[in-house]
Structures are given as structure tokens and as C-alpha cells.
């Protein structure tokens, strides 16, 4: 499946400044692998040493926080829109 991925400012050093890229995969994990194949090292910025999503990264698939879905196993439909966003506390 092909998905569009919005890249946060912090990670745009990997994408030559491009804010939105496309990647392939049936699950979020696959998409991140595909992203890393295109932009080596980017996945390690999103995932911790155990391969889990870092504590201060929020990932959304079609506007839903993946922690409410299936995390890295969240299925990705054709044309899905994925956003990677640093967690910010609010108030």
C-alpha cells in the first residue's frame, strides 16, 4: 500500500527538507521500514532501541493516534495519510 507521510521539522534533515513523502507498507511498521530504506536512519529517530515508538513521538494514521489503534501493527490502507509529530504537552 502506498501512503503519504508528513515529516516533522526535526526529521526533515533526512528528507532534504521535504515535508511530505510517500512510503509503502501494509502496516505502520512496514511503512517505517520503507521510509528508512529511502532515508537511511530516519526510523531510528522514531523508534527506540527496542523498536517501540519513542515516548515523545505521536504517530497518526488518518488523524487517529496509533496508540488507540494497533500501534506499529496498525494496518495501512492505500492512500492513507500518516503524520509523525513530536508530543507537546498543553494546557
Partner 1 sequence: MTVTTTPAIGSAVALKCRECGTRYPLDASYACYECFGPLEVAYELGSVTRAQIESGPNSMWRYESLLPVVPGADARPGLQAGFTKLVRAENLARALGVKTLWVKDDSGNPTHSFKDRVVAVALENARRLGFETIACASTGNLANAVAAAGARAGLKSVVFVPSNLEAGKIVTTAVYGGTLVAIDGNYDDVNRLCTEVAASRNWGFVNVNLRPYYAEGSKTVGYEVAEQLGWRLPDAVVSPVASGSLLTKVDKAFREFVDLGLVDDHPYAIYGAQATGCSPVSQAFNSGQDVIRPVKPDTIAKSLAIGNPADGPYALDVVRRTNGAIADVTDEEVVEGIKLLARTEGIFAETAGGVVVATYRKLLREGRIDPGAETVLLNTGDGLKTLDAVEATSKPTMVISPSYDEFEAEYSKVVS
User: 3-state DSSP call for residue 48?
Assistant: coil
The verdict on 79 binding partner 1 (CB under 8 A) reads no
Closest CA to 66 of 41, 85, 45, 91: 85
The verdict on 88 binding partner 1 (CB under 8 A) reads yes
The verdict on 56 binding partner 1 (CB under 8 A) reads yes
The verdict on 57 binding partner 1 (CB under 8 A) reads yes
User: 3-state DSSP call for residue 3?
Assistant: strand
From 21-29, 30-38, 57-65, 72-80, span contacting partner 1 (CB under 8 A) = 57-65
The verdict on 40 binding partner 1 (CB under 8 A) reads no
Q: Which residues on adjacent β-strands are paired with residue 24? A: 2
What is the closest distance, in whole angstroms, from the C-beta atom of residue 69 to partner 1 in the complex? 11
d(CA 61, CA 69): 9
Amino acid at each position: 500500500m502506498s501512503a503519504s507521510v508528513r515529516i516533522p521539522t526535526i526529521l526533515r534533515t533526512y528528507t532534504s527538507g521535504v515535508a511530505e513523502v510517500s512510503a509503502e507498507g501494509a502496516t505502520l511498521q512496514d511503512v517505517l521500514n520503507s521510509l528508512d530504506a529511502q532515508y537511511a536512519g530516519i526510523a531510528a529517530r522514531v523508534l527506540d532501541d527496542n523498536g517501540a515508538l519513542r515516548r515523545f513521538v505521536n504517530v497518526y494514521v488518518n488523524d487517529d493516534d496509533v496508540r488507540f489503534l494497533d500501534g506499529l501493527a496498525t494496518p495501512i490502507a492505500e492512500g492513507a495519510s500518516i503524520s509523525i509529530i513530536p508530543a507537546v504537552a498543553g494546557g
